[in-house]
Structure 1
Amino acid sequence: MNTPPRWPIGLRAAISTAIPVTTGWAAGAMSSGLIATLGAFTSRFGGDRPYANRGIELATVVVSLAAAVALGDWSAQVPWLGVLVVSSVAVAAVWLCNALTVGPPGAYIFVVACAAGIGVSAAHLTPWTIGLLVLAGGAVAWLVQMAGALFHFRKPERVAVAAAAEAVAGYIEAAHSPQERATRHRAASALHRSWSVLVNYQPLQARPSSVLHRLRAANHAVHVLFTMAVTAAAQGTAPAPETAEQARKLGALQLPPDVIASRDADRIPLGSPPLVTLLRRAISPGSPVRHIMQRVTVGALLSGAAAMTLGVDHAYWAMAAAVLVLHQGTDRSRTLRRGGERLLGTWVGLVLAGLILSLHPHDLWLVLLLALLNFVIEVLVVRNYALATVFITTAALTISSGTHAVDVGHLLLARGIDTLIGCAIGVAVYLVAVRWQESTRLTDAIGHTLEAAAQVLPYVAGGVTTGPAARAARRDLQLAAIALRESDEAALAGSARQKEVAEKLLPAVTATEQLAYRTIAACWTIEHRADGVEFGRSLFGGRSAQPHVEALAALAGAVRTGAPAPERSDPLPFLADEVTELRQSLAQDR
């Protein structure tokens, strides 16, 4: 599927930047206008969210950015206090952004905003005044981001459903090929994303005749095609070739969903878990988010302390660089690449910034320059991060130093050293931490997926899979399967030891994935068959699912502890092949 063009996003960022600066210039307070542009970071969030939800998210981002900048300005008088405040903001932002799936650019922007608050303390404005300026700039960005609702209110939902349909079509076409696992993961992730857009991100009720209900019905039918393909692949047969085109037509609303499967419009959609549950899960033992928070805490404090000890002014630049390397929680190869791109891009950007600052642009030239820089950043940031960093550095230095004379040589040297410190410490913290943090991630993911499957089996055996509890268990299993694939990919891109373990566990990972998706597919089959209850019971021979639940729990324990897989003479009548393959793969790994 083609990548959506980035120029509309770049245009919104440019407008969001230009308006506050132009207003400041017209009012004779250009420095205040530049401070207000920190609120324009808001334009980088929520681009793929439905508009009603986007408005809420962006309003929250605006207030948070204003608070972060004001807090940074307040702490600027005491250097060590500034380091502690920026570190605290970094950890809190990582927790909230990851737990609530805020999306790119994530926690890094809030750290930059807080650190910038320390930098703008030279403006000698009160913290609340600076917060209000950022709030005003954020309000402009909010209006720019929400303007599309006047013309295409349901466009984000349409895009999400079309993307899910295309991903499912890709999986159907890749069945029984080397790309089957990867395309199945993409399809499952896209379906989860589209359902989140259609249900979790919908704060307002929609009419039964609305486009939203049509999209939900289409997405439901696409999911049915996906589970039909999973079942066919597990049975060794190819999915019907016409289903790929049917999926694409459903995604474009060109095929009535009832042709594939009907959806009860009166059934209350299953939303996401409560907010408190999401936040608690994010900091539970073994959670990847918790690991990221730990790395960010250490990286931010060490980089700030190192920069201050070496006497480099504005230590927050080093902290921001360290957080950038660490906050996304990516695998080893991408973390190293991001650190290198940040370092190289910053140094090249310093040269460009030095040239611009030596020309000392002002008035409307400064407005035009900042708008152009932000446009280029958004166009490049996805395709070429290293090149985007060149312009990110240039824009940041232009905003912070564009209205007064500076010692360009000293400024560029300090920023280059800060970035080197931050990137080096960020990478070092990652390499040390993941040796113990990631050592059991893959086995934990296998165990968690097996346990999640065990929670679904009683509903399958009873032939009742449409209740809220059954659908919640099915959702948790799908999320566990998606996380398993991500854990496997992270291990394969990790250290030599992690890669060796991932290669040994590949048969177990494959069998566990297959078991998870077959279980999910069985739930959908039961839901849409007229004899669903009898069909579900037949999968277990009419017997209780409890022995099989205990068997999967025992397998999960064996995976985590490295103990031999427990013997079982009575294989599961349902999923027998997958469980047998899993037992054999675990035996071979010992």
Structure 2
Amino acid sequence: MGKHAKPSGKSAYEAPGSMVRARPLPVRSAVRLRRPVDIWHKPALSAVAALAIPDLTLWALGRLDLILYTSAGAMCALYAHGLPYAARARTLAWVVLGMVASLGIALTAASLITSTALLVVCASLVAAVHKVVCEATRIGPPGNIILTFIAASAFFVPQHPGQVPLHMALALGAGVLAWLVCMAPALIRPQGPERIVVARALEAAAGLLRTEADSGGGQPAGVPHARHATAASVNAAWHTLFLVPVRTPARAAARAGLERLLVRAESALGDTGPAIEASAGAEPRDTRFAKAQPRDTRPAKAQPRDTRPAEAEADRLGGWARELRSGRALPEVALSAAQAEELAGVAAEEPGSRRPGPPRPGSRWPAPGHPRGVRAVLARLAPGSPLLPIGARVAAGCVLAGWASMAVGVGHPYWAVVTAASIYQANTTLSWQRALQRTLGNLLGLLLYTALLPLMHLGPLAMIALALACQLGAEAGITRNYWLGSVCVTPMALLLTEFGSPVPATTLIADRWIDTVVGAAVGLACCVLVTNRRAADRIEVALGQVAAAEAVACGLLAAGPATGADEARDIGWARDRLAGCLVELREAVEVAAGEWWQRALPEERIAHAEQRGHRALAGLVRRLSAPALAA
């Protein structure tokens, strides 16, 4: 995410006494390569398999002109690889239906509308819907870009109304194939996705313990970041496990084993560490009277402590993470009595819940009171949602980018629409980075496409092989940086257009380069002009949620240690709420901090809320897991 302001002092880009600030737009960090995502090969191989089968079938039938429609369904294989298989099956079904519906709208519009300018408007509105819905559902990578790429392309494909049902049927059939490809690994490793997400939480917890051990009693800057990362990883892992059904005793036992590992990873948050204790200092619990009560704001002097137990626990957590990734049997994990009570005491059916199958002992469920499923999506799209300005940005930017591309002579400006839609991220800083990455990646991709032209002349099979290789390269590179993935995405997209209606290479390359520059420039201009003023309002809401969750946590901590399953369950639910609120606050801060023109953030309130929240979270975790680290 974007860099956020320092805890104290005025930014060099903020005028004295001003209530708004302008932020610089970074360049170096936008092109820096990162470590690849651990499961990048799963969507890559799934997409290659889902594309290869229909492509080769169409080649055998001599109908490569239909490859755009089968690619629409096959590209759905890129989604939902981080979800357990039961949730993946439902999510992929919705993705396939959404893709087919978008394709149907685009093809119908292409068959009925002759005005290119009006088609640009229709494509832009569909792109805005894709962006908002994907953000509201939190579908994850690749997000809206695949849906928008296919739909925007289809808006400018010559079409007759009688052809639309057949083309939609081809997309649906390829989508069913993609669903089968993505679900096939369940036959070999049915617990693979949840094991990976728990392994990530264990690795994050091990990193936190090592960071605190390296501090030697000091206050390293990396501890707060490691604590936030661990809380986010553990929170994400719990939400993933909540999606795992427990219809049979065997499944319940497997999930319970993962829960025990995750509870042990969460135990790392129970050590408040010198950074939190020192930064908390003498902070009063009720900050409304802070001005009336003078207090000592100097950090508490950190005392050296024995780091050997923490280092041993970090090694143990890292070893368990490696065992999970290797597919070996789940290790035996020692838990405290309170942790065991919590896992055993939350099996009662939550009123109004729709969990599949009967409740089973030994499994945790999410804290009640939060909307889930369709209700959660509708809540994120309610009036006042921060997603609505993003949708407005996408619609306006795509329309203006498409019209600008038409003005400079491009006859089918769908690439400008796709470029504009792809650069819109959570804030201006990220959108600027994506625009820079997209432009660089497309330029290099056009050079790669030019170099591949001699191979394309070898025949259709060579073109299919190149398209599949580019798809694999795109997934391998895009997790390291978007521009690196775009280097392979660009020639793959151009190859798809070559199957349907060949265009002279010089014209195709020139049009795509113009579309890229125009789409990125116009889209970024709209992003800068249409600022997300609701980003700061989201912080206020998140601060209120953290304060409420912390108050509940402090009440439970003041009540004394948990004496039974009910008390342990309440502490677990309070921990879930507080951890989720802290993650939401940090996300809201990073989104607002990346807006280039935004009123000053309440940095001191944010820092104090996070300090108090993490201190209360550590207390809840300690209450349940204090004896576990000594095991």
Give TM-score, length-normalised by structure 2: 0.74
1:18 maps onto 2:52 in alignment: yes
Out of 82, 85, 100, the position equivalent to 2:119 is 82
Aligned length: 523
The answer to whether residue 390 in structure 2 is matched with residue 304 in structure 1 is: no
Q: What is the CA distance between 1:45 and its match in structure 2?
A: 0.9
Q: 1:35 aligns with which of 40, 61, 69?
A: 69
How many angstroms apart in 2 are the aligned matches of 1:89 and 1:308? 19
Given candidates 314, 333, 350, the residue that maps to 1:244 is 314
Taking the aligned partners of 2:418 and 2:411, their CA distance within structure 1 comes to 14
Residue 254 in 1 paired to residue 331 in 2? yes
Question: Which residue matches 1:46?
Answer: 80
Q: CA deviation at 1:344?
A: 2.2
Counterparts of 1:24 and 1:414, CA distance in 2: 28
Task: Pick one of 197, 206, 227 that aligns with 2:270.
Answer: 227
Q: Give yes or no for the alignment of 1:153 onto 2:190.
A: yes
Q: Which protein is richer in helix relative to its size?
A: 1
Tell me the CA shift for residue 430 of structure 1: 1.9
1:90-130 deviations in whole A, cap 9, x for unaligned?
A: 23322332222210011121111211222433588622211
Equivalent-residue separation in structure 1 for 2:128 and 2:532 (angstroms) = 21
**Correspondence 1:450 to 2:547:** yes
* 2:256 is the alignment partner of 1:213: yes
Letter in 2 for 1:414: D
The residue aligned with 2:181 is 144
Contact 1:120 1:400 (C-alpha < 8 Å) held by counterparts: no
Answering whether residue 598 of structure 2 is matched by residue 523 of structure 1, we say: no
Q: Residues of 1 paired with 2:389 and 2:172: CA distance?
A: 32
Per-residue CA deviation, residues 45-86 of structure 1 (Å, 9 max, x unaligned), is 112221222122112212211221121111114235533432
Aligned-partner residue type, residue 580 of structure 2: L
Counterpart residue number, 2:134: 97
Equivalent pair of 1:230/1:517 in contact (CA under 8 Å): no
Cα RMSD between the aligned structures? 3.2
Matched residue, 1:554: none
Give the residue type in structure 2 aligned to 1:481.
L
User: Are residues 33 and 490 of structure 1, via their aligned partners in 2, closer, same or farther at CA, if it must alter by over 3 Å?
Assistant: closer
Partners of 1:341 and 1:385 within 8 A in 2? yes
Corresponding residue for residue 66 of structure 1: 100
Deviation of the 1:445 alpha carbon = 4.1
Is the contact made by 1:17 and 1:374 (CA closer than 8 Å) also made in structure 2? no
- In structure 1, the partner of 2:514 is 417
* Contact 1:466-1:527 within 8 A present in 2 as well: no
User: Aligned-pair distance for 1:218?
Assistant: 1.7
User: Structure 1: 5+ residue runs without aligned partners?
Assistant: 531-590
Q: In the TM superposition, what whole-angstrom CA distance separates every residue of 1:419-469 from its partner, at most 9, and x where no partner exists?
A: 222211221122223363445555554444334434555555556885888
Instruction: Tell me which residue corresponds to 1:535.
Output: none
Structure 1 residues 397-417: Cα deviation after superposition (integer angstroms, max 9, x where no partner): 111123543233233222222
Q: Would you say the 8 A contact 2:393–2:527 is kept in 1?
A: yes
Kept in 1, the 8 Å contact 2:261–2:333? The answer is yes
In 1, the alpha carbon distance for the partners of 2:261 and 2:227 equals 19
* Residues 145-195 of structure 1: CA deviation (Å, up to 9, x unaligned): 222112111111111111101111211222342101100110011001111
* AA at the equivalent of 1:258: L
Choose from 568, 584, 589 the match for 1:483. 584
User: 2:596 maps to what in 1?
Assistant: 495
What is the CA-CA distance between 1:231 and the residue it aligns to?
A: 9.8
For the residue of structure 2 that corresponds to 1:121, the secondary structure is coil
Instruction: After superposition, give the CA deviation of every residue in 1:238-280 in whole Å (9 maximum; x if it has no partner).
Output: 6752332343355444342426842433523333732243123
Equivalent pair of 1:449/1:484 in contact (CA under 8 Å): yes
Shift of 1:214: 0.6
Q: Give the residue type in structure 1 aligned to 2:207.
A: G
Question: Which range moved further: 232-241 or 356-365?
Answer: 232-241
1:512-556 CA distance string (max 9 Å, x none):
1111122233334455699xxxxxxxxxxxxxxxxxxxxxxxxxx
Higher relative contact order (CA 8 A, sep 6+): 2
Gaps of at least 5 residues in structure 2 are 1-34, 213-218, 279-301, 324-329, 348-363
Give the share of equivalent positions with the same residue, in percent.
27
Q: Give the Cα–Cα distance (whole angstroms) in 2 for the partners of residues 88 and 476 of structure 1.
A: 36
CA distance in 2, matches of 1:402, 1:84: 26
Task: Return the alpha-carbon distance in structure 1 between the equivalents of residues 501 and 275 of structure 2.
Answer: 68
Alignment partner, residue 289 of structure 2: none
Correspondence list, 1:361-380, <5 A:
362-380=459-477
Q: Distance in 2 between matches of 1:61 and 1:509?
A: 37
Q: Kindly indicate whether the alpha-carbon contact (under 8 Å) linking 1:18 and 1:370 is maintained by their aligned counterparts in 2.
A: no
